[in-house]
Amino acid sequence: MGFSSKFISVSLVVAFALLFSFTDARDHLVGGKPECWKVPSTESDDFLNKWAQKTRFQIGDSLVWKYDSKKDSVLQVTREAYLSCNTSNPIAAHKEDETKIELTKSGPYYFISGTQAYCEKGEKLIVVVMAARNRPSGAVSPAIAPSPDSEFGAPAVAPTSAASGLKGGLNLIVAVAVLAGFFMI
């Protein structure tokens, strides 16, 4: 009976650890709430980029915009088009009331309003997707986000979060739980 209860206990610990060792892709509502894709109330209000700088984006996550497609659209553009609000040659154009874009690679993504005048008034967004790295120690280094105000691409350091190192720590927990299970049997 002792062997069976130990085996079940270890199995439950391993299953629990494995469950939490996988990170799920997340949907991020742009701006944190519906209908944030709009012209800022003042030219100095950079709320979309401030929101993006506080958010950790991973490969596989998606951005979700909710807006009135009769009045606006979302363009994914190059850095140069972002800086100049050039709407003429986007990487991708989206005109749905709910636009969802999956982030498939690390690095910066640039988005502007499909209405050039809106973009010129500040309706634009830079999202930086963190590189996928396996850190055995669970250590975290800060992600570098380009500053939306810089014409020269000088980086601005994004805030750090201990939570981004969680996956590495959980993988360690899984390994320890498996080893403990073998020694208990």
**Could you write out the three-class secondary structure of the chain?**
CHHHHHHHHHHHHHHHHHHHHCCCCCEEEHHHCCCCCCCCCCCCCCHHHHHHHHCCECCCCEEEEECCCCCCCEEEECHHHHHHCCCCCCCEEECCCEEEEECCCCEEEEEEECCHHHHHCCCEEEEEECCCCCCCCCCCCCCEEECCCCCCCCEEECCCCHHHHHHHHHHHHHHHHHHHHHHHC
Q: How confident is the model at residue 7 (pLDDT cuts 50, 70, 90)?
A: low
CATH number assigned to the domain comprising residue 62: 2.60.40.420
Number of folded domains that form the chain: 1
Mean pLDDT, rounded, for 120-145: 73
Rounded percentage of the chain residues whose pLDDT exceeds 90:
50
Q: What does pLDDT average to over the chain?
A: 75
**What pTM value is reported for the model?**
0.63
Q: What is the pLDDT of residues 67-112, one digit of tens each?
A: 999 999 999 999 999 999 999 999 999 999 899 999 999 999 999 9
Most confident residue range from 21-30, 69-78, 175-184? 69-78
pLDDT tier, 131 (very low <50, low <70, confident <90, very high otherwise)? confident
Residue-number span of the structural domain to which 174 is assigned? 2-184
Distance, CA of 53 to CA of 174 (rounded, Å): 31
pLDDT class of 42 with cuts at 50, 70, 90 = confident
Residue pLDDT, tens place only, 45-75 = 889 999 999 999 999 999 999 999 999 999 9
